[in-house]
Every structure is written in structure tokens, then in C-alpha cells.
Amino acid sequence: MKGIGWASLCLSLYAAVVSAQVVAVKAGKLVDPETASVLKDQIILIRDGKIQAVGQDLPIPVGTQSLDLSSRVVLPGLIDCHTHLADGAPGDDDPVGIFRKTAAQYALESVPNAKVTLESGFTTVRDVGTYRALTDVALRDAINNGYIVGPRMFVAGAYVTITGGAGADTGLAPDIQLPWDMHYGEANSPWEVRQVIRKLAHDGVDHIKILSSGAVLTHGSNPNSQEFTLEELQAAVDEASHFGLRVESHAHSPEGIKNAIRAGVTSVEHATMIDEEGIALAKQRGTYLDMDIYDEECIQEAGRNGHMPKDFLEHDAQLGQIQRDNFRKAVQAGVKMSFGTDAGVCPYGMAAKQFAMMVKYGMTPMQAIQAATVNAADLLGKSEWLGSIKPGKYADLVAVSGDPLADVSALERVDFVMKEGKVYKQK
């Protein structure tokens, strides 16, 4: 009898432990971006941070923790494919300001950026470069180790740029020597490009960010220019592939965009002045366009408030509307589109404002949601884990009180955020 009693106790304890690992989320409506549909009255069973099952009449194990979202719309955790979370505290729109702080200051000041991004509903980001090399790697690792709160980060480590190019620290006197971390990604030949990518791969980056045209927010730059030759861009894509890394390219100019696509990049960032040939080429090659069409609002506001350098505003003149018109053309042409905001240009936590702009310029609300879920996961090469609420994937969920398919701006008011089964926001 004693033996049977002990066995029963062990089984009871085991059942309690197992049930404690399971969470049941009751979703009034569930957006499935894979099928572009909305399911009603769904139960999502979560075990150890991953989705175990999804269905309408799933049996819920006794003792399971339940989260009632039956009055809300539940979506997969959102993904921003173009962020700069490791750029320190917001407020300094001139990159020259980076010299007033240490790399440690930048890393620590970036902690709130990560937290507010997650709480706004973005459970994953692709961070696409920082002037202080590898601070984004440190931020990612701090989140992964549980030291700080933030989204899942996939990081670039540094900008791969030509000397004095779009990703360089420019605007200084010629006799000022930059420390190693401010010219880490500089390269001026195919073999130098390969060398930089080998360093980045060794230092643990998740992808490569190269810049194939001039920039708006860089001193002495010209967004219409072409930077890196086709041969150099091809070397970047080839070398990155040896380490299993994908390449995205910053590009504003038509030729910079087309050279990046021809070289085989996975996505073109900004794609501001893409022409008809570039749109056709992107569609033919299956290249994603990651167009940050909201941040023009923030650039212009900063200009009105006197917080944006004059030359940046001169670079930006007319480009905002050109980019938005080209976004519409790309959507109409059926080019692959992902969601990217250039977070950091606008204050962190505002990324969801771009959804309404994407709808204004040609997308349906479902297409905009797909850009930030299934499309973004595909761009990252992480569809197995991210982008939809399906068994086996990470339990990344967000919920809103409004209907984002009727008014996509509802995504600006996220009520609930879960990342890998852990709740980070609940109203």
C-alpha cells in the first residue's frame, strides 16, 4: 500500500508539472496570414514556449493556465525587418553625435528601445546595422540570455560600406582617425568585401547589410549615387552564402537597386527610386522590397523642429513621395513585399503606424499583415519558427481589441504581447 501511495503521489506531481508547462489561449478571432483567413473561437495550446495545437474544440488539460482573449483579435507576433535598436537613446538625428558617447553607453541606452519595441507588438526584428560595430550583437545576446527584455533580434553587426559611403561615419575633418568599431565594415574591392564578411561571420552576426547607393541620413552622401560595383556586390552575396548568411542591400538609386538585385541579395531596403526595370527584375528574381514608407513623416517633423541637419533634408527633398508612389507600383506588380520601418528614425514603439500607410498606398489590410508576418518570416529564412500561429512554431502572439482587417490602425494599439509563451503585456 505504501508503494502504491508513493507511486500515485509521483504521478500526481508529474501531472502537475506537465500541466504547469501548458497554456491555453482562447482567441475570439485568429488571423491566419498563411491562408489570408480569420478563424473564430480558436484555442491555442502552448507548451514550453511553442505552439502545440490550434483548433476550435480542443480539449484543455486539467490544471492548464488559461488566457481569455475571446473578445479580441489574435495575430502572430509582428516582425519588423528593418530596425536599428542598438543606436542608443533617441533624440540625436546627427550621426556625428556618436562621438560624444562610448560604445557601452550606446548599448545600455538601447535597452529601452528593445523593451518598447516588444511591448508594441513586434516580437522579432531584423536589425540592419549600427555605427558602433557589434553593439547589436551584444543587445541580441543580452535579450537571449534573459538579462533584458526585448524582441528576438537577428543582427548585422556593422554596415558593409565603401570608404566615405552611406554606412560610414562621415562629416568629420580628414585628419580624424576613427576607432576600429566605426570603420569595421569598410571595404573597397571584392576581396575586402569578402574579408569584412568573414570577420562578421566570425563575430556571430545573423545576416549581412551592404549599401549599394548613397544615403539620405549621411553627411556628404548622394542618394542618387551608386556605391559598390556589381562585382563587389556579387562577392558579398557569394561570401555570405558560405556561412549560411543572407544579404540585404540599402539602395535608393535605380542602378544601386538593380545591381543589388542582379547580385542576388535577398532584399532591397528602401528601394526609393526603383524604376520599372527594377520592379520587373525584383519580381523575376523573387527579391523582397523592404520599403520604409512611414518614416518620411518623422524626418519632416524633425526638420520642422530644427532637429535634422540641413543637408539631410536636402537629400530627402521629394524622395518621400517618390518612394510611396513606387511602393504602390511594386504592390500592383506583385513584387514580394516585407514590413520594415527604419525604426530609430521614428521614435521606437511607433512601427505599427506604417500599416496604415501601406494600406493607403495600395495594400489590403491582410497584405500589410502578411508583410509583417509570413512574408517577413520567409525573408528571414525562419518560416519554420515564425510568421503564423501553427503547431511547432514559437508561441509569439499579439492581440488587439479592434478589427485590423476593417481598420488596420488597430495594430497601433496592441493589448497583449506574448513571446515564446511568456506574456510581456496584458491589458
Residues 106-124 have pLDDT tens digits of 899 999 999 999 999 999 9
pLDDT > 90? residue 219 = no
Contacts of 272 (CB under 8 A, 6+ apart): 223, 251, 252, 291, 319, 322, 323, 326
**pLDDT at residue 100, as a whole number:** 84
CA angle 338, 339, 343 (to 5 degrees): 140
**pLDDT at residue 164, as a whole number:** 86
**pLDDT at residue 224, as a whole number:** 76
Dihedral sign of CA atoms 164, 168, 171, 173 in order: negative
Q: Are 255 and 237 in contact (CB under 8 A)?
A: no
Amino acid making up residue 341 = T
- pTM of the complete model: 0.92
- Lowest model confidence (mean pLDDT) among 56-70, 96-110, 163-177, 363-377: 163-177
Domain 21-76+387-426, second-level architecture? Roll (2.30)
Q: What count of Cα atoms within 13 Å lies in the side-chain half-sphere of residue 302?
A: 22
Examine domains 21-76+387-426 and 78-351 and report if their fold is the same.
Answer: no
Q: What is the mean pLDDT of residues 259-274?
A: 98
Looking at per-residue pLDDT, the higher value among 47 and 175 belongs to 47
**pLDDT at residue 315, as a whole number:** 65
φ/ψ of 90, rounded to 5, equals: -65, 160
Give domain limits for the chain.
21-76+387-426, 78-351
Nearest CA to 31 out of 394, 409, 376, 390 is that of: 390
Question: Which string of DSSP letters, residue by residue, matches 68-115?
Answer: EEEEEEEEEPEEEEEE-TTS-STT---GGGGGGS-HHHHHHHTHHHHH
Q: Are 185 and 135 in contact (CB under 8 A)?
A: no
Nearest CA to 419 out of 234, 144, 225, 107 is that of: 144
Residues 134-164 have pLDDT tens digits of 999 999 999 999 999 999 999 999 999 999 8
- Lowest model confidence (mean pLDDT) among 142-146, 312-316, 370-374, 384-388: 312-316
Percentage of the chain beyond pLDDT 70 is: 91
CATH of the domain spanning 78-351, picked from 3.40.50.300, 2.30.36.70, 3.50.50.60, 3.20.20.140: 3.20.20.140
Distance CA 40, CA 38 (A): 7
In which band, very low, low, confident or very high, does the pLDDT at 4 lie, cut at 50, 70 and 90? very low
Q: Are 421 and 50 in contact (CB under 8 A)?
A: yes
